Chains A and B, each alone.
Chain A
């Protein structure tokens, strides 16, 4: 059973699918599933880079590698969206 998504989570899920050319449908992405690694969405490090660049472009702030809590920020779609919500300038 997939948890329901907020409006932002839906938008970022769409961005995720188009940016990374995923075969998964945006609706099928579980917002609490891990993004990176073997479990969950199974994104690799280059996917994570492309996702970061995509989010930065779309939401007008830089995701940066020197943020201490990146493992937390990139943990799931929900975590990423909470971070976007806090930092978004658009």
Chain B
């Protein structure tokens, strides 16, 4: 398995990024966006690994090798979403136009009283999940399982989340999933992403865009242990200030009989990968796994 994606930006780019974030937050979203083309161009020219990953993905989606313009657009979507994260995590939801589909799946699943796993992907924006639920009346608390790879930003991320009533559960600690389980047992919502693996995580290989790729088993194991229903969510960026948030029913409860666990996990992961593929075909520039996704070894 690969920790490739978890590698940090170099110190030199880190302070440039922090400076940029500061400028954007003070000068505003429109002013900040003026820098995006130059940033995309820089990464397109110099981030070789990301460029290769984008080319590989786009070739699968388009059925032909992408030109520079197609790759630029892919990078531009990613840069826009990262930039918008600044404003979304600061609670500035008014800047955006959110379309929400399938919110009834969330209510229906919560009515069962066993908590709810909201399973997404590194597709579009994770941060808009809260926005998709924010305008609705009384919902149980939302917890987000995520990697905090940059200690310097962690305190800010925690503080921002707390202000908006969201708890962050950092992954990579021995009790991360114990905490996630307790949230579900209290009937709360748990947001997590189902398309990346780290370190020792158990994986399954299932077809995705024409070739087997590694997906984690953890979402299915957690769902089975907690008996929480699973709803998929995708927050696609659609240009300008528009995001399309889609919820899809996935499973009322997940059963993994002993002895058939990995087969059953593979079946759930395959269905998840199929739904993710459908989203990628619908909004192709929202796929944000910029590393050799199909080449993760066991």
Check if A and B associate: yes
Please give the residue numbers on chain A whose beta carbons come within 8 Å of chain B beta carbons, in ascending order: 35-38, 42-46, 48-50, 52-53, 63-67, 70-71, 74
Closest chain-A Cβ to B64's Cβ sits at a distance in Å of: 39
Q: Are A64 and B221 in contact (CB under 8 A)?
A: no
Q: Are B200 and A65 in contact (CB under 8 A)?
A: no
Cα distance, A52 to B182, chains bound together (Å): 12
Count, chain B residues at interface, CB 8 A: 21
- The residue in A36, A43, A46, A67 that gathers the most chain B C-beta atoms within 10 A of its C-beta is A46
When the two chains form their complex, are residues A44 and B181 in contact, meaning their CB atoms are under 8 A apart? no
Task: List residues of chain B with CB within 8 A of the CB of A64.
Answer: 178, 182
User: Contact: B179 with A44, CB < 8 Å?
Assistant: no
* Interface status of B239 (Cβ within 8 A of chain A): no
- Closest-CB distance, A48 to chain B (whole angstroms): 5
The answer on a CB contact under 8 Å between B225 and A45 is no
Let me know if B225 and A48 touch, CB within 8 A.
no
Name the distance in Å between A86's Cβ and chain B's nearest Cβ.
Answer: 17
Known contacts A36-B174, A71-B173; A49 and B222 CB within 8 A of each other:
yes
- 10 CB < 8 A contacts A-B: A35-B174, A45-B176, A45-B201, A46-B217, A48-B175, A49-B177, A49-B180, A49-B222, A52-B175, A63-B178
Judge whether B67 is part of the interface by a CB distance below 8 angstroms. no
Q: What is the chain A residue whose CB lies nearest that of B3?
A: A38
Is B225 a contact partner of A49 (Cβ separation < 8 A)?
yes
Query: Does B173 contact A44, Cβ atoms closer than 8 Å?
Result: no
A65–B179 touching, CB < 8 Å:
yes
Q: Which B residue sits closest to A70, measured CB to CB?
A: B175
Q: How many Å from the CB of B228 to the closest CB on chain A?
A: 13
**Any A CB within 8 A of the CB of B93:** no
Contacts of B240 in A (CB 8 A): none
CB distance from B6 to the nearest CB of A (A): 13
Task: Look across to chain A and name the residue whose beta carbon is closest to the beta carbon of B199.
Answer: A38
List of 5 A-B pairs having minimum Cβ-Cβ separation, nearest first: A65-B179, A74-B174, A49-B177, A44-B200, A36-B174
A43 partner residues in chain B, CB cutoff 8 A: 200
Inter-subunit contact B202/A74 (CB<8 Å): no
The reply to whether B217 and A49 contact each other, CB–CB distance below 8 Å, is no
B53 at interface, CB cutoff 8 A: no
The chain A residue sitting closest to B197, CB to CB, is: A44
